[in-house]
Amino acid sequence: MLVDDVRKQFPALDRKVYGKALVYFDNAATIQRPLGVIDKWNEITSRSNANIHRAVHRMADEATEAYEASRNIVKEFIGAESREEIIFTSGATAAINLVAFSFGEAFVKEGDEVVVSESEHHSNIVPWQMMCQRKGAVLKVLHVDDKGCLDMDELDSLLTARTRILAVAHISNVLGIVNPVGEIVRRCHDRGVKVLIDGAQGVVHRKVDVKELDCDFYVFSGHKIFAATGTGALYGKKELLDAMPPYMGGGEMVGTVRFSGTTYAPLPLKFEAGTPNFAGAATLKPALEFAMSLRNEEISACEDAVKEYMFEKLSGDSRIKLFGTPDDIGDKIPLFSFCVDGVHHEDLALILDKMGIAVRSGQMCAEPLMDRFGVTGMLRASLAPYNTMQEAEYFIGSLDRAIGMLV
Amino acid sequence: MEYTKPLAEAENDVIEEFSMFDEWLDKYEYLIELGKHLDDYPEESKNDDNLIKGCQSRVWLDYEIRDGRVYFKADSDAIITKGIISLLIGLYSGRTPQEIISSDFSVVDRIGLKENLSPTRANGLLSMIDKIRAIAADNA
């Protein structure tokens, strides 16, 4: 499949904004949806809108089948051992909150420690802070260096006999750097520390095998990998999920309910209280199948060429300060956060918008990282496999023009 | 005393000025120019009391009353926001509180700024207008 063929699958990419062809470079926030996903959503909502797992009628069967078929695909997609280890959530944030609560209840005591990195998204900081407050535990921070890489020397000194869990992004949503998660898991496990990996960006840009990684939890959002919004998954090792209490009660998460006490359903339903977003979850199957179909040499070569062009142009411009610059560009995804001397990120984003370019500006849900680099915000261009070299060239030219207007 | 156009007339002038731009970029280029020429704002007035919440960028708005008229001073760390501020100050500064309260502030809508700025931005803009209104009401 060539990039042009890929683009044809995305109706949104064809549209114009302010009379100009859309250049969508905000993929790390949400990626556009291909036809297969749109069709699946329409099919479920127009033909098979029935509550899953309960009723015995045909429509409910169809909805349940679509929902569970997505669970199979998620399991294959990340290389999990069994379907029981895949919990559907409303996204990565919900998945982290679930683990922070239930793992905390089961395993964290007063005086225990939790480690997160300095480059985490707020969603991988705040749930842990809340849990630490509740349990009287201590939150510790793994710092990044000036290039944005995790300080791996600091890691060993952070892990103590009291450390229960470490939470880290597979790929930073601000720096675009692929963190050495395999190494982190090894070192943590050597010290008896569990590891949660926030794969919101990771699953989009790297092949993930949770068995090989040996991580204890891996979470991701559907809307960043072509599926509907309000979908996502939590992978957890079965023995851990079994030992953790439910996060929410009600719906299909029960075994039997008596006023004298309730027993819980087995995995994965134990963690799926209430009617889930079954129409959304059903789109995970076409979404992940589509993502897998893009994993070929031709598409990768195009993506790398665009990435290298963007990196060269942005890092070579003396007016621009690019954040997330690992020694090997192979450790970076096509995601570029930067500041321009004397120009406010919001002004740049507004002007680029009028040129038809969608980028993100602001703190990118990572205030501690903004503080680390001493900035109030950044501009972020994040690319997907459907973005072309032509778009990248238009972006670089437009950025130059916008800076010219603003200084 | 210098002549001040009636507010409604001044608002119509701005609307007419903006209607000359066909391209959104030209409107923004104009706002940027306005922003670059906004009067200096005293550093000591950049305090939390004068800070307006709701913008990605920061906005400070201060005022003084002279001869029964409200004079606004404002600043922002972003230039387009400064341009919008400049536009608003040009319209509402130097007027009596009653005059300011009498405006429906639809000028912002009619030059297309509200619809064009993203919700967070529009909220910032609305906060700015709310503050101008509140200052006028307090001093009426």
What is the rounded distance in angstroms from the CA atom of residue B28 to the CA atom of residue A404?
13
Q: Are residues A243 and A337 in the same domain?
A: no
The confidence score (pLDDT) of residue A200 equals 98
- Residue B95 forms beta bridges with which residues? B70
* B 11-50 residues with CB < 8 A to A: 24-25, 28-29, 32
Q: Does B2 reside within a domain? A: no
Is there a contact between A335 and A376 (Cβ–Cβ < 8 Å)?
no
What's the number of domains chain A is made of? Answer: 2
Percent of chain A with pLDDT over 90: 97
Q: Are residues A246 and A300 in the same domain?
A: no
Q: Are residues A111 and A229 in the same domain?
A: yes
What is the rounded distance in angstroms from the CA atom of residue A26 to the CA atom of residue A24?
6
Element (H, E) at A183: helix A181-190
Alpha helices in B1-118 (DSSP H): 7-19, 24-36, 79-92, 97-102, 107-110, 113-116
Digit-coded pLDDT (tens) for A270-318: 999 999 999 999 999 999 999 999 999 999 999 999 999 999 999 999 9
- Cβ distance B32 to A405 less than 8 Å, yes or no, reads yes
CB atoms within 10 A of CB A52: 23
Q: Is A352 exposed, middle or buried (0-12, 13-18, 19+ CB in 10 A)?
A: buried
Give the pLDDT band (50/70/90) at residue B128. confident
Average the pLDDT over each of A230-244, A385-399, B119-133 and give the range with the smallest value. B119-133
Asked if pLDDT for residue A59 goes beyond 80, the answer is: yes
Among the partner-chain residues A361, A362, A406, the one whose CB lies closest to the CB of B79 is A406
Q: Are residues A207 and A142 in the same domain?
A: yes
- What CA–CA distances, in Å, run from A139 to A4, A128, A163, A174? 47, 7, 9, 22
Distance of CA A307 to the CA centre of its chain: 20
Asked if pLDDT for residue B119 goes beyond 60, the answer is: no
- Residues of B forming the active site: 55
Q: Does B1 reside within a domain? A: no
Per-residue exposure over A187-207, b if at least 16 CB sit within 10 Å of its own CB, e if not:
bbeeeebbbbbbbbbbbbbee
Element (H, E) at A189: helix A181-190
Site from A20, A347, A375 to mutate, B interface, most B CB atoms within 10 angstroms: A347
The confidence score (pLDDT) of residue A322 equals 98
Mean pLDDT of A370-377: 96
Instruction: Give residue B59's domain range.
Output: 7-138
The confidence score (pLDDT) of residue B127 equals 82
Q: Are residues A23 and A54 in the same domain?
A: no
Among the partner-chain residues B25, B28, B57, the one whose CB lies closest to the CB of A346 is B57
Nearest residue in A to B78, CA atom: A344
Q: Does B53 reside within a domain? A: yes
The confidence score (pLDDT) of residue A351 equals 95
- Cβ distance A355 to B25 less than 8 Å, yes or no, reads yes
- Cβ distance B56 to A346 less than 8 Å, yes or no, reads yes
Q: Are residues A136 and A194 in the same domain?
A: yes
Q: Are residues A263 and A126 in the same domain?
A: yes
What is the rounded distance in angstroms from the CA atom of residue A154 to the CA atom of residue A141?
10
- Residues of A forming the active site: 365
Mean pLDDT of B60-74: 94
What is the rounded distance in angstroms from the CA atom of residue A242 to the CA atom of residue A107?
12
Query: For residue B126, which amino acid is it?
Result: L
The confidence score (pLDDT) of residue A405 equals 94
Give the end of a domain, one of A291, A312, A341. Answer: A291
Q: Are residues A261 and A310 in the same domain?
A: no
Give the end of a domain, one of A291, A316, A333. Answer: A291
Give the end of a domain, one of A267, A291, A315. Answer: A291
CATH code at position A385: 3.90.1150.10
- Cβ distance A355 to B79 less than 8 Å, yes or no, reads no
What is the rounded distance in angstroms from the CA atom of residue B17 to the CA atom of residue B9?
12
Digit-coded pLDDT (tens) for A129-167: 999 999 999 999 999 999 999 999 999 999 999 999 999
Asked if pLDDT for residue A120 goes beyond 80, the answer is: yes
Q: Does B24 reside within a domain? A: yes
Digit-coded pLDDT (tens) for A171-219: 999 999 999 999 999 999 999 999 999 999 999 999 999 999 999 999 9
Query: Residue B22 is encoded by which pair of tokens?
Result: 């066909």
Average the pLDDT over each of A202-216, A324-338, B83-97 and give the range with the smallest value. B83-97
Give the pLDDT band (50/70/90) at residue B56. confident
CA-based max dimension of chain A? 71
Asked if pLDDT for residue A1 goes beyond 80, the answer is: no
Asked if pLDDT for residue A371 goes beyond 90, the answer is: yes
What is the rounded distance in angstroms from the CA atom of residue A162 to the CA atom of residue A160?
5
Q: Are residues A277 and A321 in the same domain?
A: no
Q: What is the pTM of this model?
A: 0.94
Is there a contact between A8 and A257 (Cβ–Cβ < 8 Å)?
no
Give the pLDDT band (50/70/90) at residue A384. very high
Q: Are residues A265 and A355 in the same domain?
A: no
Element (H, E) at A63: helix A58-78
Instruction: Give residue A195's domain range.
Output: 38-291
Task: Tell me if chain A has a CB within 8 Å of the CB of B126.
Answer: no
What is the rounded distance in angstroms from the CA atom of residue A97 to the CA atom of residue B61?
39
The confidence score (pLDDT) of residue A123 equals 98
The confidence score (pLDDT) of residue B23 equals 86
- Cβ distance B78 to A351 less than 8 Å, yes or no, reads no
Which residues, at least 6 apart from A265, have a Cβ–Cβ distance to it below 8 Å? A252, A253, A254, A255
What is the rounded distance in angstroms from the CA atom of residue A250 to the CA atom of residue A147?
46
Among the partner-chain residues B24, B77, B117, the one whose CB lies closest to the CB of A344 is B77
What is the rounded distance in angstroms from the CA atom of residue B53 to the CA atom of residue A229?
29
CATH code at position B68: 3.90.1010.10
Q: Are residues A72 and A183 in the same domain?
A: yes
- B-chain CB neighbours of A347 within 8 Å are 32, 57, 78-81
Give the pLDDT band (50/70/90) at residue A43. very high
Looking at CA atoms only, how far is residue B30 from chain A in angstroms? 10
Element (H, E) at A186: helix A181-190
Asked if pLDDT for residue A66 goes beyond 60, the answer is: yes
More confident residue, A311 or B50: A311
Residue with tokens 């450390």: A163
Kindly indicate whether the ipTM for this predicted assembly is greater than 0.95, answering yes or no.
no
What is the rounded distance in angstroms from the CA atom of residue A299 to the CA atom of residue A297?
6
What is the rounded distance in angstroms from the CA atom of residue A243 to the CA atom of residue A240?
5
- Of A87, A93, A89, the C-alpha closest to A173 is A93
Q: Are residues A65 and A213 in the same domain?
A: yes
Digit-coded pLDDT (tens) for A225-274: 999 999 999 999 999 999 999 999 998 899 999 999 999 999 999 999 99
CATH code at position A168: 3.40.640.10
Is there a contact between A126 and A368 (Cβ–Cβ < 8 Å)?
no
Asked if pLDDT for residue B124 goes beyond 90, the answer is: no
Which residues, at least 6 apart from A204, have a Cβ–Cβ distance to it below 8 Å? A27, A31, A224, A225, A291, A333, A384
What's the number of domains chain B is made of? Answer: 1
Asked if pLDDT for residue B116 goes beyond 70, the answer is: no
* B 67-106 residues with CB < 8 A to A: 77-81
Asked if pLDDT for residue A343 goes beyond 60, the answer is: yes
The confidence score (pLDDT) of residue B108 equals 83
- Cβ distance A351 to B117 less than 8 Å, yes or no, reads no
